[in-house]
Amino acid sequence: MKVKAVLLSIAFFIFISPNADSQDYVNSAQLAKTEQWRALLHINMQTEGSALESYVDDANFFLASDGNTNPENELLATIAALKVQDDIQCKFPARTSFLLENIEGLAKEVVPFHCQEYKDWRKKLNTSKVVLVFASAQLNSPSSMYGHTFLRFDPDNVEQGSTYLSYALNFGASVTEGDAGFLYAAKGLTGGYPGHFSANPYFEKIKEYNRLENRDLWEYELNLTQTEIDTMLAHVWELQGINFEYFFFDENCSFRLLELLDVARPGLYLAKNFPVTAMPLDTVRVVQEGDLITQTQYRPSILTELKAQLAMLSDEESELALALSQDIEVLNSESFIKLSKVQQQSVVDSAYRYLRYQNTFNGRPKETTRRSFLLLRRLNENKTKLVIPIEQPGRPDLGHKTAMVGFSLGQNLDKSFAEIKYRGSYHDLLDPMSGYYTGMSLNMVNLMVRLYDGGDVKLEKAELLDIVSLSARNDYFSPWSWKANISVEQQWTMDKEVLVTQGSGGGGVSYQPLENSYVFLLATGRLEFNRKLDTYASVAPGLQAGFLYYWPISTLLVDAEHYQFLFDQTQRSRVSIEQSVELGINDSIRFSANFHRVESNTHENKSFQEFKLEYRHYF
Amino acid sequence: MKKLLIASTLLISTSALADAPGSQTCGWGNMLFAGQSGTPSHVLAATTNNSTGNNTFGMTFGTNGCSTKGTLTYGGKEMIDVSMIMDEFSEDVARGDGEALTAVAVSLGVSEADRELFKSTLHNNFNTLFPSEEATTEHVVSSMFSLMKSDENLAKYTV
């Protein structure tokens, strides 16, 4: 509608105005306000006046000296440059076509220029389909739970199975070499690195995510038309070598991709959904809700494939495969030879995959390399074809939404309460499972306020961060499980509840004694700031053990925790039972019972219980 | 910034001259199972989503010190840089199918009708292509071309 209005007014001004310059001027004022122009300059549509500012952080992207804050001046400068400078058409092909289409008469003044490089690039890409790729969480790395997104451009003749050769476009931070660890993370969070777009063949991305990081990939084919794809690519070309600021939470990979989609299809205005944070998973959801997705492909990681392969083996075959991965002579053992051809092939295939998985980062040790090769040759000699059935899990974009409110009624210390809870993101161990990984929990910004019988209102807990990562160990894999938590919370100290600040973490092991279950044992450490303890800052080592079981729409967690403060000998113990039931994708209820005991040398011991029934809505 | 743009211009324009194997800048000496460099743990790195890609938009590679773009030539014929996918390719040849094998076929222009023949020819000659774990990419590619040349239906794709 807006566009139409602009076009109408353009036509109107051309008709009535005898002066070409002033006509341009009025047109430009209105054109500069359009979504298309703002999108081309990466200026937020919802800002006005002095708040106007482009996300682009690079003088090279603007022709007017104040182009990053003044879209109209930038438009005028672009028009002026187009009239006198041929290569501007090649540098800004999307702006050029937008202006030529929308300013009548401009085409007469701009001499068409043959942009060889740009033409070659477009010809090479030969794009007829755009695919949004979502890299899901990495095992044991909840920080990657937020995922990552990038675009893939498929050529005309792409046939199933040759997307290896497609072109992948990624937005990421350019990291200074030598920065490591927390500096790296901190700079990524705070905008310390510039961000830019970069291109790879898709097989490099497959290698990076599927193989090196063991992350499953989801490929969402988009229904962009050829014209929309043309516009998008013309604009992508304009971003070559251009710097943006990069922020992990908002101005990240996903936000930039939404901007590209907004350029391609004006009026979508997807980026507006993320004024504060843009979590890659949520951006996929927005694209899905915008009816842009036609088809979905799941590309399991190397590890997912390996685990599916191992799951097909009998106990005996599993032992043989493990032995074979360590000693090639197992091929000549009686227990191997007596297997059928098919069984032999799956044992060899498992051993080969496992060996390669184990040595992803080990270079070329002579022995392993030799064994890998002999296994590969054996795979080739045995002509039995194996099919590893890998069921496509629930689509991450169709799982429960990531913000949550909860309402509960309960009893604590023999007093009844009503509680309201808000969680910024994302998923805990008992939330509905479809689209999420088992054993992983990542929550940021979690607030709980209680109204007690009698009118007392209490902040029960304000949690900044809560991570649990359970990775099961078995004969083949030996990952660590861990957790981390930072919060302000109520703790019974001496004779009453006290609001304390604490940071805690733990590391240990977990196993899967039954399918769909975990048992875990963690050694924990806690730092608590509590004015009622003998020392204000106290440290407490401890232990936590638990059992987690997943049914299709219900999850049970039973766990026990004990820790003792080093200086004043206060000890706390807790046993909890929690069970959740999914009501729908975005609704669940859960019941919890907690039994607490606080023991101290200097005060009376205290035992108390808390029971709670909670309704949760995800939005 | 200007420098960057000039550099990118150069990269794209020279990429028309694809590197030939065995040249100074490009050793097709990569062997199987060469391993990977990089950090196995991305716990912290996830905040940046740093990309290994090239910020000039030609289909470039910066990771193997070998080629300046995704395709190389062999005997004047343009094709995907097999050294980048040696492990995947060897596995696909051993199994007789897979995406790496398809990608090589597509990059050589093997038509869909001849795709099965191409795959089975390589599959049945695994030992020729990969005589040992020390087989280099150059050996693999030249053996592949020999095999194709001696097949009446595949020979046409080698020129």
Of A121, A173, A372, the CB nearest to B49: A173
Q: Is B26 helix (H, G, I), strand (E, B) or coil?
A: coil
Average pLDDT estimate for A277-293: 89
Q: How far out from the chain centre does Cα A149 lie?
A: 7
The domain spans of chain B are 81-159
Rounded to a whole number of angstroms, the distance from the CA of B29 to the nearest CA of chain A is 14
Q: What is the pLDDT of residue B5?
A: 33
Q: What is the pLDDT of residue A47?
A: 76
Rounded to a whole number of angstroms, the distance from the CA of A457 to the nearest CA of chain B is 37
| Strand A606-618 versus strand A415-427 pairing type | unpaired
Query: In the structure, what pLDDT confidence band is assigned to residue B14 with cuts at 50, 70 and 90?
Result: very low
Q: What is the pLDDT of residue A277?
A: 75
Q: What is the pLDDT of residue A11?
A: 44
> Which residue on chain B is closest to A203 by alpha carbon?
B85
SS3 content of chain A, % helix, strand, coil (to 5): 35, 35, 30
Mean pLDDT of chain A: 89
Sign of the Cα torsion A303, A305, A309, A311 reads positive
> B44 and A182 in contact by Cβ < 8 A?
yes
Residues of chain B contacting residue A159, judged by C-beta atoms under 8 Å apart? 102, 106, 112
How does pLDDT run across A322-369, given as a tens digit for each residue? 999 999 999 999 999 999 999 999 999 999 999 999 988 887 888 999
Per DSSP, helices labelled H in A338-465 are 341-358, 366-381
> A373 and B33 in contact by Cβ < 8 A?
yes
Query: In the structure, what pLDDT confidence band is assigned to residue B114 with cuts at 50, 70 and 90?
Result: very high
| Strand A472-473 versus strand A496-511 pairing type | parallel
Q: Is the pLDDT of residue A313 over 70?
A: yes
Tell me how far CA of residue A31 lies from CA of A10, A66, A97, in angstroms. Answer: 9, 17, 13
Rounded to a whole number of angstroms, the distance from the CA of A592 to the nearest CA of chain B is 31
Enter the tokens of residue A215: 């992350």
Domains assigned to chain A: 2-114 (no CATH), 122-299 (no CATH), 313-381 (no CATH), 399-618 (2.40.160.40)
Of B57, B94, B112, the CB nearest to A379: B94
* Euclidean distance between CA atoms A12 and A488, whole angstroms: 63
- Of chain A, the percentage scoring pLDDT greater than 70 comes to 91
Tell me how far CA of residue B103 lies from CA of A120, A168, A610, B88, in angstroms. Answer: 22, 15, 60, 11
Rounded to a whole number of angstroms, the distance from the CA of A324 to the nearest CA of chain B is 18
Angle between helices B86-95 and B99-107 (to 10 degrees): 100
Q: Is the pLDDT of residue A118 over 50?
A: yes
* Euclidean distance between CA atoms A395 and A244, whole angstroms: 31
> A165 and B52 in contact by Cβ < 8 A?
no
What Rg, from alpha-carbon coordinates, does chain A have? 30
pTM confidence score = 0.87
Instruction: Report the complex ipTM.
Output: 0.85
| DSSP run (H or E) holding B146 | helix B137-149
Average pLDDT estimate for A134-163: 78
Average pLDDT estimate for A177-201: 71
Q: Is the pLDDT of residue A181 over 50?
A: yes
Average pLDDT estimate for A381-401: 92
Of A120, A172, A363, the CB nearest to B35: A363
Q: Is the pLDDT of residue A319 over 90?
A: yes
Stronger pLDDT, A481 or A3, i.e. the higher one: A481
Average pLDDT estimate for A22-49: 80
Side chain identity at A98, as an amino acid letter? F
Of A144, A181, A199, the CB nearest to B54: A199
- Contact A562/A542 with Cβ under 8 angstroms? yes
Q: What is the largest CA-CA distance in chain B?
A: 54
Per DSSP, helices labelled H in A113-225 are 116-125, 181-190, 202-206
- Of chain B, the percentage scoring pLDDT greater than 70 comes to 55
* Euclidean distance between CA atoms A543 and A483, whole angstroms: 12
Query: In the structure, what pLDDT confidence band is assigned to residue B75 with cuts at 50, 70 and 90?
Result: low
- Contact A572/A597 with Cβ under 8 angstroms? yes
Q: What is the pLDDT of residue B19?
A: 41
Stronger pLDDT, A601 or A503, i.e. the higher one: A503
Q: What is the pLDDT of residue A569?
A: 85
Query: In the structure, what pLDDT confidence band is assigned to residue A477 with cuts at 50, 70 and 90?
Result: very high
Q: What is the pLDDT of residue A613?
A: 98
Q: What is the pLDDT of residue B36?
A: 52
Give the highest mean pLDDT range of A32-46, A134-148, A280-294, B117-131.
B117-131
Q: What is the pLDDT of residue A175?
A: 67
How does pLDDT run across A413-442, given as a tens digit for each residue? 999 999 999 999 889 999 999 999 999 999
Query: In the structure, what pLDDT confidence band is assigned to residue B57 with cuts at 50, 70 and 90?
Result: low
Side chain identity at A65, as an amino acid letter? S
- Contact A520/A546 with Cβ under 8 angstroms? yes
The values of phi and psi at residue A543, to 5°, are -135, 150
Q: Is the pLDDT of residue A24 over 80?
A: no
Q: Is the pLDDT of residue A563 over 90?
A: yes
Q: Is the pLDDT of residue A371 over 70?
A: yes
Q: What is the pLDDT of residue A123?
A: 87
- Contact A76/A88 with Cβ under 8 angstroms? no
* Euclidean distance between CA atoms A96 and A524, whole angstroms: 61
Q: Is the pLDDT of residue A449 over 90?
A: yes
Q: What is the pLDDT of residue A156?
A: 78
Question: Which of A88, A164, A256 to substitute to test the interface with B, most B CBs within 10 Å?
Answer: A164
DSSP A244-259: EE--SSSSSHHHHHHH
For the ranges A262-271, A444-453, B16-25, which has the lowest average pLDDT?
B16-25
How does pLDDT run across A489-500, given as a tens digit for each residue? 999 998 899 999
Q: What is the pLDDT of residue B42?
A: 37
Place of tokens 């075959």: A317
